[in-house]
């Protein structure tokens, strides 16, 4: 109804403006009262033209440049109908059915501009969605004095530096004024974008963490004192279809880089892990749990190894927030897997800030768990984003449930891990009481991995589950 009233007001303004321009803002010979009566058929024709062209159903959230021709059609229908009336109605009839040709043409042009402005201006006024609004709690502090002191003057290597987490780690480390910052990523394009943004003692390396010779040469040459290992395949459903890639990149790549770090005398090695490594059921979760096991086995030498687990990161590439944002901008529907689905969320800056805080606290062998507050309902997140865009969930933007995807859980349960965790000096960082596997069990795991990969077949999800459960049974 509001859109209908707005379109009617645009027609009224365009109608009066067309007559005023045609008669140089003087009263037409028929008088303004007669001209006003002539607006009634124009109103009916104009609104009918909008309906016939499909413009009446378009909302500010759905309007795009591709919709402009539709409004051109509506304006064309309006002009053509008014000119047809002029041709059919006798010349001695009142102006209400015979507007001048120039008035009909100007009216159509002004109406077209007004209808477009009404929708595009409203779209521009839609409130941009701020990620912090979705969190439901205060963000953790970043860039603390302890972090700045720990990283100032250090040589730091960040893997996966082209991604959302890796690039934010680079920004925060650079703020601490390191001696040098080496950014490693397999994607040339992603790495280039980050290097274009950052200025200072930064240099980029295109490479794969799972290539032992290349990593060994890089570490000997760059001599980093701290490695922040963010490189990983993280998309759960995609890794369900590619479990071999998850195993090789996430688990074996971590072990290779960790062994080379130990050989090169790196002081600290921080693995970015995930809450999906808790009782993992997906290929991604299992591969990250294996990465923790393989890395933790090296603790106790000259390098302080640790892992930091956290949940979903709001607005990171491949996460649900940019997906919802695109769907809302397109007018919906917004797709939610299940109305019961919940996840723990952090913002990119606070997740990276807490990773750096954990790196400061690391003594070697820890698996840090971050306090992420209460889990958020994905449905509530979608509804909140729609509301923050100035629209109504379920009415302006439909919500469709698509079903749980392969590898997903309804919730990621942190209860047992956080209940048994040890507190640190930072209130948001805990040390999970997660049993370290005996070295013999890790050796057996590596032997099984070597056997699995030597046969030339791609590992399956069942293979990964068998690897993990077989060794965990030995540990217990």
How far CA 108 is from CA of 19, 22, 48, 161, 340, in Å, comes to: 12, 14, 14, 54, 51
367, 432 Cβ separation under 8 angstroms: yes
Tell me whether residue 323 is one of the annotated catalytic residues.
no
Tokens encoding 3: 């859109």
Q: How far apart are CA 142 and CA 144, in angstroms?
A: 6
Q: 222, 201 in Cβ contact below 8 A?
A: no
The pair of structure tokens assigned to 385 is 């984003």
Q: Which of 248, 276, 342, 409 is catalytic?
A: 276
Task: Determine the Cα–Cα distance for residues 273 and 414; give it in Å rounded to an integer.
Answer: 14
Report the distance separating Cα 20 and Cα 23, nearest Å.
Answer: 5
- Cross-strand partners of 401: 336
181-186 long-range contacts (CB < 8 A, ≥24 apart) are: 181/156, 182/155, 182/156, 182/157, 182/158, 182/218, 182/222, 182/224, 183/158, 184/157, 184/158, 184/159, 184/160, 184/209, 184/218, 184/231, 185/159, 185/160, 185/161, 185/231, 186/231
Structure tokens at 363: 């003594």
Evaluate whether 459 touches 243 at the Cβ level (below 8 Å).
yes
Q: Which residues are tagged catalytic? A: 276
């Amino acid at each position: 109804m509001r859109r209908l009233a707005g379109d009617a007001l645009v027609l009224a303004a365009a109608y009066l403006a067309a007559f005023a321009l045609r008669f140089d803002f003087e009263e037409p010979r028929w008088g303004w009262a007669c001209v006003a009566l002539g607006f009634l058929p124009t109103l009916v024709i104009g609104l009918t033209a909008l309906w016939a062209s499909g413009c009446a159903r378009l909302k500010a959230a759905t309007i795009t440049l591709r919709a402009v021709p539709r409004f051109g059609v509506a304006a064309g229908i309006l002009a053509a109908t008014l000119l047809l009336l002029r041709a059919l109605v006798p010349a001695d009839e009142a102006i209400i059915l015979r507007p001048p040709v120039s008035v009909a043409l100007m009216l159509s042009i002004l109406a077209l501009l007004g209808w477009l402005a009404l929708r595009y201006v409203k779209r521009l006024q839609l409130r941009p969605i701020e990620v912090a609004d979705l969190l439901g709690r205060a963000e953790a502090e970043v860039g603390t004095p302890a972090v700045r002191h720990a990283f100032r003057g250090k040589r730091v290597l960040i893997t996966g530096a082209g991604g959302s987490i890796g690039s934010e780690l680079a920004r925060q480390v650079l703020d601490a004024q390191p001696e040098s910052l080496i950014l490693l990523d397999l994607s040339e394009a992603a790495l280039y974008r980050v290097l274009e943004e950052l200025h200072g003692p930064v240099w980029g390396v295109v490479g794969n963490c799972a290539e032992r010779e290349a990593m060994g040469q890089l570490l000997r040459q760059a001599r980093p004192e701290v490695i922040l290992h963010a490189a990983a395949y993280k998309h759960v459903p995609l890794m369900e279809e590619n479990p071999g890639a998850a195993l090789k990149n996430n688990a074996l790549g971590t072990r290779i880089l960790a062994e080379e770090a130990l050989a090169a005398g790196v002081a600290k090695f921080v693995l970015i892990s995930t809450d999906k490594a808790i009782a993992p059921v997906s290929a991604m979760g299992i591969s990250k749990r294996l990465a923790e096991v393989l890395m933790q086995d090296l603790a106790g030498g000259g390098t302080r190894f640790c892992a930091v687990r956290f949940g979903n990161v709001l607005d990171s590439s491949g996460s649900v927030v940019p997906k919802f944002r695109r769907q809302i901008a397109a007018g919906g529907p917004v797709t939610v897997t299940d109305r019961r689905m919940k996840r723990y969320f952090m913002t990119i800056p606070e997740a990276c800030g807490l990773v750096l805080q954990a790196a400061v606290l690391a003594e070697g062998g820890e698996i840090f768990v971050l306090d992420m507050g209460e889990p958020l309902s994905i449905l509530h997140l979608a509804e909140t984003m729609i509301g923050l865009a100035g629209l109504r969930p379920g009415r302006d933007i439909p919500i469709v449930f698509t079903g749980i995807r392969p590898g997903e859980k309804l919730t990621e349960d942190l209860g047992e891990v956080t209940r048994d965790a040890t507190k640190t000096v930072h209130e948001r960082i805990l040390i999970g009481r997660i049993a370290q596997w005996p070295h013999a069990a890790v050796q057996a795991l590596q032997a099984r991995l070597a056997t699995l990969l030597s046969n030339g077949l791609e590992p399956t999800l069942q293979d990964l589950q068998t690897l993990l459960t077989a060794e965990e049974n030995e540990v217990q």
